[in-house]
Chains A and B, each alone.
Chain A
Amino acid sequence: MAEWVEFELVSPARLLVSEPVEMVVVPGVEGDFGVLPGHAPVIAQVRPGVIDIHGDGKVIRRIFVAGGFAEVTPERCTVLAEEARPVEDIDGAQAGERLAAARTAVDNPEDIDAPARRARVRELRVAEALLAAAQEE
């Protein structure tokens, strides 16, 4: 069994992180799951939340993702995310504004059809998670 998990975080524009880590905790839609070396192969949907990278028995890096997918094999863990940024870079005030904007958008019942509505609800979830991540920090 390998000692490290090869962790990769990829956004459409580029490869954000690619490094061996001890353990990584991914926020799946059905609950957070930790990936250690030798994990069973899984493809999981990721909800908006924070990925914790563990080293030396504690969390060494925290990265916010706005949802996506994770592919886990015994050797590696790859997360595809459309939006990702380190938790320490999140601006709490900005996150608050975004949440307020998203909430107004959802609360406004006007015109829109179901897919647009779903998109707004999704944006609201992302904004909530973003703010939560900022406040934990």
Chain B
Amino acid sequence: MPNLKDLRLRITSVKSTQKITAAMKMVAASKLRRAQEQAEAARPYAEHMERMLGSLVASMGDAAGAPPLLTGTNGDHNQLLVVVTSDRGLCGGFNAQVVRGARARINRLRLDGKEVKILCLGRKGRDGLKRDFAGIIVDTVEGLTRRQVYFEDANDIAERLAKMFADGDFDVCTLIYNRFKSAISQEFTVQQLIPFPVMKTEEWDNEVGQKRENRLAAIYEFEPDEETILADLLPRNLGVQMYRAMLESYAGEHGARMAAMDSATRNAGEVIDRLELHYNRTRQAAITTEMIEIVSGAEAI
């Protein structure tokens, strides 16, 4: 049986752990709010850009001269996976979920005989994947989410991807990340970046029903012309998509951390209750033993 002093120490230590997890929860909650606001603020740009792309592609039809970022390389042998995770742990199953999904995808692609390469954004993704796939991890970018997500960072990565694509390093690029769904749940998402999948007009209309009229009315003229605009727009859109994924992942990370720290705090509370009960019982037992000793000592005289 542990003695009283040990129990007391144990209780103090669990209590201080509880304080830490509670504080982390608060921090995560406030960061989550900021991340959500940021994601919200970034939406108009992305939506407009997507709409422009839609009209551009619709007006170009299947005309030749479309840039390869849109049409692809006529192959899908070389695959690049961009895996977005967090740099820090203590956020429940957040990173494990991405890593598990990425691993499954890599294995499937390999079964199909494809050549797979990985670019990790966030340290945890590399940590999770390097055991099985150390040889095919092209690079890891860390520190993207230190304080907030910057568009410039996303753009740098996008430029790098565009360059790799132009150099013929891969045919298809897919983005793997957790999409922020609500404060307590994230959705594992696989999104193709290159070649860019443009929504068909009908799909788009279904998704944004209220903008339908607007869209039907607008048959655009282009200045200077479709091809030039498209050639400029596509790389920028790549940056926007990256930025969006990074924001989603960042918000998801803090949501996951908040949930994880909440349950850790609650767990610690339960442990403390149990320990305190145990402590009181032990103390009572010690007192009883002492009294019995005194009484029987007195009787013996």
Contacts and interface: CB of A to CB of B under 8 A. Distances in A.
A15 B220 CA distance: 23
B190 interface: no
Contacts of B162: 115
A10 B48 contact: yes
A13 to B, nearest CB: 6
Interface of A: 8, 10-15, 28-30, 33, 40-45, 69, 71, 73-74, 78, 80, 82, 115, 119
Given A45-B224, A45-B232, A14 B52 contact: no
Contacts of A119: 159
29 contacts: A8-B44, A10-B44, A11-B45, A11-B151, A12-B46, A12-B243, A13-B42, A14-B42, A15-B44, A28-B223, A30-B224, A40-B221, A41-B220, A42-B223, A43-B221, A43-B222, A45-B223, A45-B224, A45-B228, A45-B229, A69-B49, A71-B48, A71-B51, A73-B214, A73-B218, A78-B48, A80-B45, A80-B49, A115-B166
Contacts of B42: 12-14
Interface string B216-238: 01111111100011001100100
B45 A10 contact: yes
List the 8 shortest-distance A-B pairs measured between CB atoms, nearest first.
A14-B41, A44-B223, A12-B151, A41-B218, A10-B45, A41-B220, A43-B220, A42-B221
A10 B229 CA distance: 18
Contacts of A29: 223-224
Interface residues of B, number: 35
B126 to A, nearest CB: 27
Given A13-B151, A14-B41, 14 more contacts: A13-B45, A29-B223, A41-B219, A41-B221, A42-B221, A43-B56, A43-B223, A45-B223, A45-B224, A45-B229, A45-B232, A69-B229, A69-B232, A80-B49
A44 B228 CA distance: 10
Contact of A82 (B52, B214, B220, B236): B236
B226 to A, nearest CB: 9
B266 interface: no
B239 interface: yes
B251 interface: no
Residue with the greatest number of chain B CB neighbours at <10 A, chosen from A28, A44, A74: A44
B233 A73 contact: no
A43 B229 contact: yes
